[in-house]
Every structure is written in C-alpha cells, then in structure tokens.
Structure 1
Amino acid sequence: MTYKIEFTLHSKKQLKKLDKNISGMIMAYLLKNIQGSENPREKGKALIGNLKDRWRYRVGDYRIICRIEDEKVIVLVLEIGNRKEIYK
C-alpha cells in the first residue's frame, strides 16, 4: 500500500502564506519522498510530549508536522512553518 498526502485547511493556508520558492520546495519534498511511499516513517521523525502522535519532516529551516493514518493510508499535513515558530 502506498500513502497519499492530504492537507488540513490550516496547513493549506500556511503553505499559501510562504514564499513561492519555499512552498515549491516543500511540495516537491512531499511529492518525491512521501506521496506513494510504502513507509512514510522512514523519512520523518516521531515527535514527543504533547505532539507524541505526530511526525516531523525537515525541509531546510521549515518543518512539516503530520499525522500518519495507517487505517486510511494517508499522511495528513497538520502544520507547516519555520522551525523557530512551529512548535509554539
């Protein structure tokens, strides 16, 4: 089974607010490394604490916070932002 990417409304808005070059880099990363992957966990890192059910992907100074839903075979993008602000 290969995973598909879905975005929350909030993450779509965050992506649109970013510079076009950065949003392009983020989309390229997601499409190349996550979309169609059989194991999206191998490219990411599990988060701890309050975010323990979420996964993080790094693209330069930006972070993509996701929830991997195995029963639906999707990676749900929850938040996208600069590493200095994303965990607040």
Structure 2
Amino acid sequence: MTYRIDVLPAAVRAIRKLPPEAKRRIQAVIDVLAEEPRPPAAKKLTARPEWRVRTGDYRVLYRIEDEVLTIVVVHAGHRRDVYEK
C-alpha cells in the first residue's frame, strides 16, 4: 500500500537551498518512504513526534499519518541544522 507524500513549504524551501547531489539523495529517500514509511534505517525521535531517516550527512524528518496513509515531510537538511526549531 502506497502512502501519499506531503512536503511542508518550509521543507521545500530547505531542500531548494541544498546542493544538487543532496537534493537527489533526499528525493530518493522520500520516494522510498511512499512505499515503506518505516524503513529499517528510520528512527523514531524521542523528544518529537517525527521519524528520521539518514542519507549521508543529510536528514529527512517526517510524520506518519497511518489513518490517512500520508507521510508529511517536516524538514530536510544537513545534520547540523535539521534538528533546530
């Protein structure tokens, strides 16, 4: 069963600012999330309601809404910046 992917506007802005190679890697991760929202590499964050998946030095933070089969990408970016509010 395929999940719908929603990317928040703030995440879109953050992804646009990344280098081309990072954009490709993040897009590939997001595509995988549509098929498998909890891949083995994903981790549930302890202090936040989001999940995290790593791709090199970059992270994608997302929420899973199982009742409506939706993945909401909250933020994406370099690991040093992505956890800041």
Q: Place the TM-score, normalised by the shorter chain, in its bin.
A: 0.7 to 0.9
Unaligned runs of 5+ in 2: none
- Matching residue of 1:34: 33
- Matching residue of 2:4: 4
**Offset of residue 66 of structure 1:** 0.4
* Count of residues in correspondence between the two structures: 83
Residue-by-residue CA offset, 1:43-86 (whole Å, 9 max, x unaligned): 3100012x1x1100101000101010111101100001111121
**Offset of residue 30 of structure 1:** 1.8
Query: Within 2, Cα distance between the matches of 1:77 and 1:9?
Result: 9
Amino acid at match of 1:8: L
Query: Within 1, Cα distance between the matches of 2:21 and 2:39?
Result: 25
Q: Alignment RMSD, CA only?
A: 1.2
Amino acid at match of 1:5: I
Q: Is the 8 A contact 1:4 1:34 kept in 2?
A: no
Unaligned runs of 5+ in 1: none
Query: Within 1, Cα distance between the matches of 2:17 and 2:74?
Result: 15
- Matching residue of 1:18: 18
Dislocated runs of 4+, deviation >3 Å: none
Alignment match of 2:52 (pick from 40, 51, 56):
56
Q: Is the 8 A contact 2:33 2:39 kept in 1?
A: no
Q: What SS does structure 2 have at the residue aligned with 1:15?
A: helix
